[in-house]
Amino acid sequence: MPEISVILPTYGEPDRLVTTINSVINQSFSDIELIVVDDNNPTSEYRNKTSDIVKVFASQDKRVRYICHDHNKNGSAARNTGIRESKGKYLSFLDSDDEYATDRLLKCYNILKERRDKEFQGVYTGCEFRRNGKPYHIETSMADGNYLVQCLASTFNICSGSNIFITKEAALEINGFDESFIRQQDIEFLVRFFQHFSILGIKEVLLVKNQDGKNRPSPEKLEKIKAQFLKTFESCIKIQQKKDQDYIYSHHYQQIAEQYLAVGNRIKALEYYNAVKSLNGYSFKCIIRKYCYLLKLLR
């Protein structure tokens, strides 16, 4: 049995998939399996392209497993398929356009194996953000802890769902991903993780997150996404301290306000900014971000 199962859901154009898979099979830690879960519809051109790519790797490396859904389900369902099919003691998730540094799995495995107890059941690492192949931000603020409140506020700096490395035992205990979530799947998963466990942080940059900004939802869709999230975790939010409740709601409202401001809808943006202000969430950082968006509109 492999020690680590890497779960890689894929959907749509597989333009970075070769690089992503290579970053896994070339890891310095070799006792792994890579489970590629293809969530494309069987008759789509993306299924054909993805199949051609993955089957070449699978023919050359017995650690690569290829599983196809019989219809498009969603990212959460694809990750759950990977969890069910996994044989490893540890699970590492990877989006199909991101990349691992060569020593990522080794370092995550070593620290979690060394320090694992009933509390610490996961690891996350530093991350480099790239746009069009060029780095534009490096995040190394990772620290050990429990980030339940930050996840409820959608402010936990996980960087990417590709930054989740946990025990399979923990994933099974929280029943995997909620398949009703089309967005914020990783944060939803982590809220339930932090209700039971804590995470270890490695400051070293061991993950590359490729962002192109094409998958950003409209502000109207974001409102629905936030409503679903807040409704799902309403009881969990209500048992937090009042200041934490205000922190949680104000950050969700601020994110919606920024989306409306980004598309030029100042009336709706003001509505949500006023909601932030009523919760004492109108921080200096919030004001700066607001005016940055306004300046961007005026250009």
Last residue of a domain, one of 210, 234, 267: 210
Last residue of a domain, one of 210, 231, 260: 210
Shared domain for 78 and 32, answered yes or no, is yes
In the chain, the number of structural domains is: 2
Can you give the pLDDT of all 299 residues of the chain as single tens digits? 899 999 999 999 999 999 999 999 999 999 999 999 999 999 999 999 999 999 999 999 999 999 999 999 999 999 999 999 999 999 999 999 999 999 999 999 999 999 878 899 999 999 999 988 899 999 999 999 999 999 999 999 998 899 999 999 999 999 999 999 988 899 999 999 999 999 999 999 999 999 876 667 889 999 999 999 999 999 999 999 999 999 999 999 999 998 898 888 889 988 998 888 888 765 545 555 555 555 555 44
3-class SS string, the chain: CCCEEEEEEECCCCCCHHHHHHHHHCCCCCCEEEEEEECCCCCCHHHHHHHHHHHHHHHHCCCEEEEECCCCCCHHHHHHHHHHHCCCCEEEECCCCCEECCCHHHHHHHHHHHHCCCCEEEEEEEEEEEECCEEEEEECCCCCECCHHHHHCCCCCCCCHHHCEEEHHHHHHCCCCCCCCCCCHHHHHHHHHHCCCEEEEEEEEEEEEECCCCCCCCHHHHHHHHHHHHHHCHHHHHCCCHHHHHHHHHHHHHHHHHHHHHCCCHHHHHHHHHHHHHCCCCCHHHHHHHHHHHHHHHC
68 beta partners: 38
Shared domain for 187 and 227, answered yes or no, is no
Shared domain for 45 and 193, answered yes or no, is yes
The CATH number that applies at residue 38 is 3.90.550.10
Structural domain of 149: 4-210
